[in-house]
Structure 1
Amino acid sequence: MSRPVKLSETEIHAKLETLPGWSLQAGKLHREFQFASFVEAFGWMSSVALVAESMGHHPDWSNVYNRVSVDLNTHDVGGITELDFTLAQRMSELAK
């Protein structure tokens, strides 16, 4: 498997335009998800955990009741890569 490549600021901003709800904060992709209940939020996190594990790419996230705060970046390259955008897209799809 090839090493992920850090995306440029221009590439990041262009890709963000295709990913509603996500923003760039402190050099990471960021989004706040809100669900109807704690159980729904935790269920979503469990589904995402399976996807993240299959990708070998894991989010920085926290959960408070029905809210989940997510930050994504690729620690190995010190920035945002295509892996982060792929995981962000899957998270958004699973939240629908």
Structure 2
Amino acid sequence: MALEKATETEIQAFIAKYDAWRIEGGKLHREYIFNDFIEAFGFMTKAALVAQSSNHHPEWSNVYKKVVVDLTTHESAGITQLDFELAAKMEQLADLTQDLQ
């Protein structure tokens, strides 16, 4: 059973709270810049464990110290509560990993 897609009001409330996130191509989008590759990859490793435990996986890429993340729930064809939860956890992990530039 698919989760309900988030309303525009819910999406805007999330972005108001986490202003580094934006909507791009119908997905929650965020670019993280870390101090170096080790920090970036460490963040991705921690985030991968969180994603696996919730069975909700990001679309992401890494080049050197940059990590680009897109979140959407494929089964619902849009953004859902699962995306908000994973994005919020990623913010916590990033804060613990280092001071973002």
TM range (shorter): over 0.9
Q: How many residues are matched?
A: 95
Alpha-carbon deviations, 1:43-66, whole Å to 9, x = none? 100000000000000000000000
Alpha-carbon deviations, 1:8-53, whole Å to 9, x = none? 2222112211113101111000000011110110010000000000
Identity %: 53
2:47 aligned residue: 48
Distance, in Å, in 1 between the alignment partners of 2:45 and 2:26 is 25
Deviating above 3 A after TM superposition, structure 1's stretches of 4 or more consecutive aligned residues are none
Distance, in Å, in 2 between the alignment partners of 1:7 and 1:30 is 15
Matched, 1:87 2:86: yes
Alpha-carbon deviations, 1:60-82, whole Å to 9, x = none? 00000000000000000000001
Instruction: Structure 1 unaligned segments of length 5 or more: list them.
Output: none
2:21 aligned residue: 22
Give the SS at the match of 2:32.
Answer: strand
Instruction: Structure 2 unaligned segments of length 5 or more: list them.
Output: 96-101
CA RMSD of aligned residues (A): 1.0
